[in-house]
Structure 1
Amino acid sequence: MKKVAFIGLGSMGFPMAKNLLEAGFELHVYNRTKTKSIELEKFGAKVFNCVGDAVKNVDLVITMLANDEALDSVSFGQDGILANLNKQAIHISMSTVSPELIEKLSQEHENHEQKFLSAPVFGRPEAALSRKLWVVMSGKQSVKEEVKEVVNALGQGVFDFGEKVSAANLIKIAGNFMILSMVEAISESLALLEKNGVERQSFIDFITSTLFNIPIYQNYGKIIAQRQYEPAGFKLELGLKDVNLMHEASSNARVPMPIVDILYSRFLTSIAKNRAHFDWSAIELIAAENAGLK
């Protein structure tokens, strides 16, 4: 499998697509704004002006898009993936989107005699650039075998969550919930300590070298302690989309998740304060403001 199309060249998609080029794949690219496509053209990518042309005659198309609406728009219609991808070719959705859309796409691809997998990723743009993403995958086992070479070029590990195609998206939603719960816990802890005269960086240095000596606490701890919210690794406005996915999933499954309600309030308040372009960990500022620190 050597000919790949990549749709969506945002902060995650661009480094992922570049890694595929460096791994030797022939790459077709499409992005709504053409600047990123032109930049990849310098590395050997073939740039297309529409999705339909980009996916014609490829073995595999990868989509890495912001939300359900974006994935829906490139998948359906006369110029979409479904109408233009060859029979038996594969579509891998690596976006953080709803399980419902993933199930719908899987059925539509089957109706078109095409193949489909879901494979969202964990990791920020710097992890994408250094091939340090964690990939969670679900769908038919035979199709997973076909895409191993491509997926392995994008991350440091792939975890298989069975043949129910939307399972990986639920894993992604649950994982993001745990990340944001961590961010909220750090934020409230820092507000408590700072209000009592304890220096915030000293606390982060302590917990990330002892109790929580793991990369995700270290990385987010540094960002939050130093308030490095610009430029955003993952924008707060996209984080609200993820929190909405958490709420929808919990509601559909009749699983109460009260922390999700807290997170929703944090994100909505942050956006109301014109912080949509900040990193999603900037919800920390709300905890500080509520404590009278800002």
Structure 2
Amino acid sequence: MTTIGFVGLGSMGSAMVGRLLDEGFDVVVWNRSRDAVPPLVERGARAAADVGEVLATGRVLSVLAHDAAFRAVFTPEVLAAAPAGCVHANMATVSVAAAGEFAAAHAAAGVGYVAAPVIGRPPVAAAGKLNIVVAGADDARSSLEDALEALAGRVWPMGSDPSAANTAKIGVNYLIIHALQAMAESLTLVERSGIDPSAFVELANNSLFPGPVYGGYGAAIAESRYLPAGFTTTLGLKDLGLARQAAAAVDVELPTAGVLDEVFTEAVAAGADLDWAAVAEVTRRRAAGAATEATTQQGSKP
């Protein structure tokens, strides 16, 4: 069997490890919260005592929630202890600035670094159908090619600069954020006009907007179904912030970003662990409040 190390066993990471096990990889796993480890060990993974033991495999994939989590786990001391020729693919969505920082830290320790953020939800990962956006040195990418291809429906190369992969992924997530809000507004409109929201989603998905975003998230919004969360409102707000940071760095104005920030902030306050499609409830609540206020004002007229 081919050995690969894996760090970060949230819903996405666990699904990816499951896929690698199904494909015959010998997977050495570690997670900050140990509760996620035993179910994967039962499926055939090997538990590592620490991150150093994962790096000792020489080939590592990781999915950690944000920049700070990555820094806390892959410290300069941890990286310095990695074996010669070790290569690490960071498959999380991190900031563009952090991508450069992490690449430099790995280079200083003699560890190859690849940015490989993923597009897709955990069930897609479990089926090996992720879209993976990859950037890094050719030799580093090649050494991880078998593992990435086991997880991917398609791998999208973005060159040698790791930050390019993260910029592309941030751009994709910014599109999804807009799609969620667009669906929230359209579905609120049709609901309040007496139209079945599920029928409207079917119409949209089978005409102009086929695909997992309008179909999958649209159905969730129509049914107000936000658990279990494939991607939380908290992470959505984080990725919105990454888009704003990336835009500011290249002097690009994002006219809608401020409004979206308000909506996501309100959604997080109402349910931080709900799926990010739950941002639709902000629009629904605001519409209901406006209707109540209008009715009250009408009733108060002489």
The Cα of 1:71 is off from its aligned counterpart by 0.6
Moved more, 231-240 or 275-284: 231-240
Please list, as runs of the form range in 1=range in 2, the aligned pairs for 1:33-48 lying within 5 A after superposition: 33-48=33-48
Cα deviation for residue 13 of structure 1 reads 0.1
Matched, 1:29 2:26: no
- What TM-score does the superposition give when structure 2 sets the normalisation length? 0.92
The aligned amino acid for 2:2 is K
Residues in 2 aligned to 1:62 and 1:281: alpha-carbon distance in whole angstroms: 28
Q: CA deviation at 1:77?
A: 4.7
1:63 maps to 62
Secondary structure of 1:156's counterpart equals: strand
Mean CA deviation greater in 150-159 or 103-112: 103-112
1:243/1:264 contact within 8 Å kept:
yes
Task: Out of 248-257 and 105-114, give the one that drifted further.
Answer: 105-114
Give 5+ residue unaligned stretches, structure 2: 292-302
Distance 2:210 2:8 in 1: 34
SS in 2 for 1:16: helix
Correspondences of 1:105-254 after superposition (within 5 Å): 105-254=102-251
Structure 1: state its 5+ residue gaps. Answer: none
Q: Secondary structure at the match of 2:256?
A: helix
Residue number in structure 2 paired with 1:264: 261
Please give the TM-score of this superposition, normalised by the length of structure 1: 0.94
User: How many residues align structurally?
Assistant: 290
Deviations along 1:230-261, one digit per CA (max 9) or x if unpaired, are 11111111111111111111111111112222
Instruction: Find runs of 4+ consecutive structure 1 residues off by over 4 angstroms.
Output: none
More helix by share: 2
1:287 is matched with which residue? 283
Q: Secondary structure at the match of 1:291?
A: helix
Confirm or deny: 8 A CA contact 1:87 1:112 kept in the other structure.
no
Which letter does structure 2 place at the counterpart of 1:92?
A
Give the whole-Å Cα distance in 2 for the aligned partners of 1:195 and 1:19: 43
Preserved contact between residue 183 and residue 281 of structure 1 (Cα < 8 Å): yes
Partner Cα distance (1:26, 1:84) in 2: 22
d(CA) in 2 for partners of 1:48 and 1:149?
Answer: 22
Give 1 or 2 for the bigger CA radius of gyration: 2
Aligned to 1:51: 51
Equivalent residue for 2:80, pick from 78, 83, 86: 83
Question: Secondary structure at the residue paired with 1:205?
Answer: helix
What residue is the counterpart of 1:277 in the other structure? 273
Q: Does structure 2 conserve the Cα–Cα contact (< 8 Å) formed by 1:28 and 1:55?
A: no
Following the alignment from structure 1 to structure 2, what is the Cα–Cα distance between the partners of residues 162 and 291?
46
The amino acid across from 1:51 in the alignment is V
Mean CA deviation greater in 35-44 or 67-76 = 35-44
| CA displacement at 1:37 relative to structure 2 | 0.9
Offset of residue 5 of structure 1: 0.9
1:119 CA displacement: 0.3
